[in-house]
Amino acid sequence: MVYKNKKLVNFIFSGIIGLLLATSPSFAIENKLTKPVLIEKVQQSERDKRQYEVIELANKMRVLLVSDPKAVKSLASLALPVGSLQDPKDQQGLAHYTEHMVLMGSKKYPEPASFSQFLSRHAGSYNASTAAHRTAFYFEVENSAFNKALDYLADAISDPNLDPKFADKERNAVNAELTMARSNDGFRIGQVDSETINQNHPASQFSGGNLETLSDKENSKLQDALVNFHKDYYSANIMVGVMYSNQSINKLAKLAENNFGKIPNKNINIPIVDKPAITPNVLNKQISMVPAQPKKLLFLQFPIENNLAKFADKTDEYISYLISNSSHNTLSDQLQKQGLIEAISSSINPIRYGNSGIFSINVSLTDDGLAQKDKVIGAIFNYLQLIQKQGISDAYYEELKKVLALEFKYQDVERDMSYVEWLSDQMLLYPVQNILNSDFIATNFDKTAIASRLKSLTANNARIWVISPNQTTNKTAYFVDAPYKIDNITSEQKANWLALGKNFTFSLPELNPYIPDNFSIVKQNRAQAQPAGFSKRGNHLHFVSQYFKTEPKAAIVVSLRNNQAFSDAKAEVAFNLLDYIASRNLEQLRFQAGVAGISLSTNNDNGLMISASGFSQHLPKMVTAILNSYRNVTIDEQSLVLAKSWYLQELDKSEHAKSYWLAVNPVNELSDLPYFERDERRQITATMTINDVLTYRDNLLTHSVPYMLSLGNLSNEDSLDLYHSIQKTLVRDVEFTPVDNIQIKKSLEAKMAQYAKSTDNALMMSYIPTGYDRIASSMLSYTLSKIISPWFYDQLRTNEQLGYAVFAGPVTVGDSVGMSFIIQSNQYDPVYLFKRYQEFYPVILSKLKALSKEDIEQYKKAVLDELKMPPQTLDEEFSRYMADYRNSRFMFDSRHKKIEQLKKITKQDLVDFYNRSVMDKKGFVFASQVLGKREDNAKQPEAISEFTEFENVSALQNELLK
C-alpha cells in the first residue's frame, strides 16, 4: 500500500470537450445500455472512441463503466470520500490502518496473500492509498481474469475479516511505511504544516499513524475502533467505482451489479469538515525547516477556498500559468539570469484541508538565491502586482484555453491502475459529465475572481517556507524528526521585500509561438529506413508508427557519441557542468515547448543525447535549437559557479536516498562503464575551469559521431534532412566504437556496506548466474520474479513484518540478469535479514518444484501477454526501441527474441536457473547492505561477515571486468 498526502489538483496542460460518445461498430448493439445512465453522459474527446457510462447500482453506488475493445488489460477501482480527516483523535492514522486491514483477507478469500498471488499469475497487481479526503483501492489484470479479480476486491471491501491476529503485523507495517517516509521531504513538510495550522482542524493530526497513535488506550481499543470505522464509513451509497475493460457496456454493468453491488448500503452521509484550517493567527508566518535531502526551497503559500465547483473558470490556473512562464524578462527569466533560482512554478490544491486549500508558489533556489532570499521574495510580490495591474488579459486566457483543448484532444494516457485511481478521484470531486475533462476546460474568464485572488496573495496572508540545511530551528516535528521554527513576518521584512522588489522591472509573458496549428498527417515514404547493422560512422533510423499513424506527433532522439566523452572522471564532470549550463539557457524554449505539447530533454549516451517528442510541426527545429544552445551558450564564471553548486548537490542527493535505494544504487552503478566514485568527482569539480568546459564542448560538438532515431509523423526525407544538417557540423572521419557491457563469466561473492542518513537498514542480495546469455537470463529471471515475488512478500513482509519495502525481482549487471531480494527495515539489521533470506530460499525452491505444468504455463502466459501488449502512447512505442538503440543493436529485435525465448521455457529451466544462481551460487553474488543511523548508546546494526569486502563500486567493477 501507499500512504499518500496526495496533491489532487495540478495545473495540467490539456484539452477540449468532445460532446459525442462513440462506440465501436462491432459493439453497437451489445453496448446499448438498458440501465438508465446516471444524470448525464460523460463528455469525452472527439478522438476518444471508448464508450463511457455511469450507472447507479441498487445499493446507490455510482460506477463508471469504460468499454474499450482495444484495452490491453482490465482495470478497476473503488473509492470512498473518507480519509485521514476522519481519523478520531485517539486513533490517529485509523483511515490508513483500515485501508491496510481490509486487504488482509475476506470472508470468501481468507488468506491475506490470495489476491496478490492471483493477480501475479495473471499479469496484474494492486495497490491502495489514503489521502486526507478519501481512500482508494485499485488493480490491473489481464482481460481474461477481470471477473475473478473484481470478486476479490468487492469481497475485501464488503466482508473483510479484520482479523485481530493481523493487527500487530499491520500496525508494524504502517509504522514501517511511515518510518521509511521520514526521508521524504514532502512527508516532513506535511507534518510541520500540520503542527503549525489551526490545531482544532483534523488536518493537524498525525495522519499516517504509527505504533504509538494506533494502539489501545484507556477509552479506545484499536480493534473496536477499526471495526467501527469500517462499519461507519464503508458504505456503498458514498462510494464510487470504476471498471475499464475490453468487455461490452452491458457485460460491465452486469459485473458491477454482481460484484460492487454486494457492498452494503448503510445510508450514511458524506462526513463534513467544518472547522477552518488556516485561521488568522497562523498567517503572516515564516517557517524555517531543515530537509532530509540536500535542497534549497522557498514556498509562498496562501489560503484559498475550496473552489472545485468553479473548475471551468481556471482562475487559479490562469495565475499559475503566468507565474511559471519563462519567456523573456518574466519573473522566472530574470531570477534565473541573475543566478538566484533553478526553477519557479506554482501549484494549486483547493482541498488540501478538505474544506479549504492552498495556492503555492514554489521556488528551487541556488546558493546565491538562498543568501538573497529576501530579494527573491520581493521580486515575486512585485511580479504579482504587475499581473494584477496589467496581466488579466483575454489573450492569455485564450492561449490557456487553446493549449488545454489541444492536450485533451490529443491526450497521451497510459491506462494502468493509476489511471482508474485518478478516475475514481474525479468521480468523487466533479460532476459526472466532467469526469474526464474537468482539468482541461476553460469556459468562463472571470476577471473579477482573478483580480480578487491576486489581491489576496500578500505577505499578510502568506505562510512563507524556507527549507534548506543549516536553518536555525527550535522545534522538532513529531515522528519525522524534522527541525523547524516558526516566526511572525515582521513589518521590517515586508518593507524590505517591497524595496527590493522595486529594483526589478518585469515584462509579462509573450504569447507562445510554438502552439501547433498544423495537424496534418505526412505521407510516409515506403522507402523508410529499415533495421540496420551498426556503423562506426553513424546511423540514421526512421520508422512509421505501427500504432499511432493518425496522430500528428513524432519522437526524435539524436546522439553525438564520442569515445572520449566519458573516458575519465574529468570528462564526466565536464559533461554534467556543460549540460546544466546549456539547459539553463534553454529554459524559455523548454517551457514554451511544454505548453505547446512538446517534451524536450538532454541526457548522456556515450556523449550528448537530445530527445524531443510531441506535436511534430516544430519538432525538428526544437532539436536544432537545443544543439545550437550547446554550441553557443556563454560559459562564464557565474554560470560555472552555479553549475558546480548544482552538481555537488546532485552528488550529495545520492547519499541521502531511502535505504533500499542506497542498496540498489551500487548494483546499477556496476553497469555504468567506467564508473567514477562520487568523491573523485567532487574533488575534480572544485578544480574545473571555464577553459576545461570549453575544451570539452569543442571536442564533443565537433569530433562526435551522429546517431539518430525517429518515429511517427515525420517523412523519412524530413528526418534524414535533420540528420544531415547535424552531420555537417561534425568532423567526417571520426569513428565511434561501442563499449562492451559487463558479462558475468566467473563466480564471485562480494559485499559492500554504506551508512544511511536515516535509521533504516537495508539488504539487497543479488544472484546472477554464469552460463546464460542476455535474452535467456532476462526471461528466466523475469518469469521467476512473477512466481516468487508474492511468496517472498507474503512471508517476510506480511507474516514476519521484517520491513515495509520488500521486493524480489530481476537484477541486471551489464548484459547479465539474475534474481535480487531486497528489504528495508527499521527493526532488523543486514545480519538478521540475510539469515532469514537464506532460510527462506529453500522454501522458495520447494514451492517452485511443487508447481504444476499448468501453473507454469499460466505464469508464462501472463508474461507473454505483457510482452505482446501494444503500446498505449507514441512515447511508449518509442521507448521500446530505446534499449536496443542505446546498446547499438539496430536490428531492434530484442523483444521478439524474448518472446521466442519465453515460449521455450520449461519448469525445469526455471528450477535450474534458481538453483544455479541462488542455491548453488554459480555466478556473481553481491550483498549490498545499508546500516541505519542509531544513537551512540543504542545497539548498532551489524554488517554480514560472509563474502569478500569491496571498498567501492569501481573496485568491484574492475574485478568483474578481469
Reply yes or no on whether the pLDDT at 403 is more than 80.
yes
What is the side-by-side order of every strand in the sheet holding 74-80?
2-3, 125-130, 135-141, 74-80, 240-245, 62-67, 51-56
Of 311-320, 371-380, 529-538, the poorest mean pLDDT is in 529-538
Residue 531 — pLDDT band, cuts 50, 70, 90?
low
Nearest Cα residue to 721 out of 827, 619, 812, 789: 619
Q: What is the CA radius of gyration of the chain?
A: 28
pLDDT reported for residue 526:
54
Domain boundaries, the chain: 2-262, 280-352+355-392+446-501, 539-727, 748-961
Rounded to two decimals, the pTM is 0.93
Determine whether 206 is exposed, middle or buried from the number of CB atoms within 10 Å of its CB (0-12, 13-18, 19+).
buried
Range 889-898 average pLDDT: 96
pLDDT(532) > 90: no
- Residues belonging to the active site: 99
Residue with cell 535505504: 659
Q: What is the pLDDT of residues 133-155, one digit of tens each?
A: 999 999 999 999 999 999 999 99
Which helix (DSSP H) or strand (DSSP E) does residue 948 occupy?
strand 948-949
User: Are residues 347 and 7 in contact, defined by beta-carbon separation less than 8 angstroms?
Assistant: yes
What pLDDT, in 10s, does the model give residues 416-451?
A: 999 999 999 999 999 999 999 999 999 999 999 999
- Is the pLDDT score of 28 beyond 90? no
Task: Residue 959: count other Cβ atoms within 10 Å of its Cβ.
Answer: 14
| Alpha-helical runs (H) found in 410-518 | 417-429, 447-456, 491-501
Give Cα 270 to chain centroid, integer Å.
31
Q: What is the pLDDT of residue 3?
A: 30
Fold of 748-961: Cytochrome Bc1 Complex; Chain A, domain 1 (3.30.830)
483501492: which residue's cell?
137
Q: Strand 356-365 and strand 74-80: pairing?
A: unpaired
User: How far is Cα 497 from Cα 462, in angstroms, rounded to an integer?
Assistant: 13
Cell of 41: 453522459
Mean pLDDT for all residues in the chain: 93
Q: Which three cell numbers stand for residue 699?
A: 571536442
The answer to whether the beta carbons of residues 616 and 552 sit under 8 Å apart is yes
**The predicted structure's pLDDT at residue 727:** 97
Beta strands in 168-323 (DSSP E): 240-245, 285-289, 297-305
pLDDT of residue 832: 97
Residue 528 has pLDDT above 60, yes or no: no
Q: Is the pLDDT of residue 196 over 80?
A: yes
Helices 637-653, 690-702: crossing angle, 10 deg rounding: 80
pLDDT attached to residue 11:
28
In this prediction, residue 866 has a pLDDT band, given cuts at 50, 70 and 90, of very high
Distances from the Cα of 11 to the Cα of 65, 318, 411, 422, angstroms: 27, 9, 15, 15
- Count CB neighbours of 936 within 10 A: 5
pLDDT of residue 530: 64
The C-alpha cell that represents 353 in the structure block: 484541508
CATH fold of the domain at 2-262: Cytochrome Bc1 Complex; Chain A, domain 1 (3.30.830)
Residue found by looking up cell 522557498 in the block? 298
| 539-727 has CATH 3.30.830.10 classification | yes
The CATH code of the domain at 280-352+355-392+446-501 is 3.30.830.10
C-alpha distances in Å from residue 895, one per residue of 53, 274, 511, 874: 37, 56, 44, 17
